[in-house]
Amino acid sequence: GIVMVHHFLEISKRNFRGQRIWDEVMRELLSKGLSHAKEAFLTGCSGGGLSTYIHCDDFRALVPKVSTIKCLADGGFFLDVYVLDLVLMSINR
């Protein structure tokens, strides 16, 4: 369907907290032993697959350098779309 500009304006008033959630989850997992992991696997499906693409490098930076890290985005299909600021976004950027 077609999304009208006034819907974007309404959505833009909301607070998106995804990065804060990621930061807190990683902080918790690191305190529970992820900071000593020899292997780690970050995965997600659909919207979580997009998040996997976005956070893979950050995930690598959080765990010990001697760790083997794998990231797998499973089943995501993402189109070029206009986002809240009406700029064309693409996963290829």
Q: What percent of the chain has pLDDT over 90?
A: 39
pLDDT computed for residue 27 by the predictor: 95
* pLDDT tens for each residue of 28-79: 999 999 999 999 999 998 878 888 988 999 999 999 888 899 999 887 766 6
What is the C-alpha separation between 11 and 33, in angstroms, rounded? 38
pLDDT computed for residue 12 by the predictor: 53
Looking at the chain, list the stretches that DSSP marks H as alpha helix, in order from N- to C-terminal side.
5-11, 18-31, 47-62
pLDDT computed for residue 1 by the predictor: 41
pLDDT computed for residue 18 by the predictor: 80
Burial class (CB in 10 A: 0-12, 13-18, 19+), 49: buried
Q: Which residues contact 91 (CB under 8 A, 6 or more apart)?
A: 50, 53, 78
What is the C-alpha separation between 18 and 55, in angstroms, rounded? 11
